[in-house]
A and B are shown apart, each in its own frame.
Chain A
């Protein structure tokens, strides 16, 4: 309680006396309550357990958060790496297919050329057995 029912400090008494009784009582109770609380809190056995528990909790939360971030970064990196590899594989497959198509086209062209050459050679060559007929047709043309 307030000393002598009011403030113990010198010039506070007059000011205190001016307050209405209900307010005085409330302020006295409030002061007594804060004093009782602080005395109890100051004299409580200060165990390290609470502090350790709180620190452990914070440490665990910190590590948890860091682990999540690390895992996120790692999985993001892995995904990106996998994605890049997939793209590279698709590009290589496309290049290979294009190459195969080119080779096939070249081969087809070469085959066609070879066939055309054979055709023209065959058409110009006259078997020996037909040589007399060729001579006759040449004489007819001369006449």
Chain B
């Protein structure tokens, strides 16, 4: 007979399975560092596992996990003590390399080239955003979270989220406009 702990463990295992890729993707887009994203994803699920018994289900597991991931990422950059070593050991890929990735579809070579260029412009715009704007932008346009979910994940009001999103979009628009 399965105990409450077994059930909880099974629940958590399914949470990991369902959300691992999404958390990793968000952290990868935020840091552009595969190793760092993997490390932070592991830390995120470790922290979530430790606090699993406290998760009341007021928000969805996704927003709860995303909130942990955002805080971990903030803590990582806020901790300036070892900044020199962090910078020395960073594996952050540059914008051009990040823009190389495109899904293997039935596009022509020219279409792929244009798509790469557009992706590079968006990356450049994202690079110029504040951490908060970047987080909100990625949650909205890469993870496709609702404004209310973004508000829950970031601990901001929906109005503030909207305002940040609007500024972020204006920046992307300006970057795309500049290319013409």
Q: Which residue in A30, A35, A50 is a CB contact (below 8 Å) of B122?
A: A30
Bound together, the chains give a CA A36 to CA B115 distance in angstroms of 13
Q: Using known A-B contacts A9-B146, A30-B119, A41-B34, determine if residue A36 contacts B103 with beta carbons closer than 8 Å.
A: yes
> Which chain A residues border B115 with CB–CB below 8 Å?
29, 33
B89 contacts the other chain (Cβ, under 8 Å)?
yes
Bound together, the chains give a CA A10 to CA B123 distance in angstroms of 26
Interface centre among B20, B118, B146 (most CB of A within 10 A): B118
A131 contacts the other chain (Cβ, under 8 Å)?
no
Chief secondary structure at chain A's binding surface: helix
- Taking the nearest CB of chain A, how far is it from the CB of B130, in angstroms? 18
CB-CB nearest 5 A-B residue pairs:
A37-B101, A38-B25, A30-B122, A26-B118, A33-B119
Query: B residues within 8 Å of A by Cβ?
Result: 20-21, 24-25, 28-29, 34-35, 37-38, 89, 98-99, 101-104, 115, 118-119, 121-123, 138, 140-142, 144-147, 169, 172-173, 176
A30 touches B118 (CB 8 A): yes
A contact residues, range:
20 to 34
> Which chain A residues border B102 with CB–CB below 8 Å?
29, 32-33, 36
> Which chain A residues border B141 with CB–CB below 8 Å?
7, 27, 30-31
> Which chain A residues border B29 with CB–CB below 8 Å?
34, 38
> Which chain B residues border A12 with CB–CB below 8 Å?
140, 144, 146
Interface centre among B99, B121, B123, B144 (most CB of A within 10 A): B144
A34 touches B25 (CB 8 A): yes
B169 touches A29 (CB 8 A): no
Q: Which residue in B24, B99, B121, B147 is a CB contact (below 8 Å) of A38?
A: B24
A8 touches B119 (CB 8 A): no
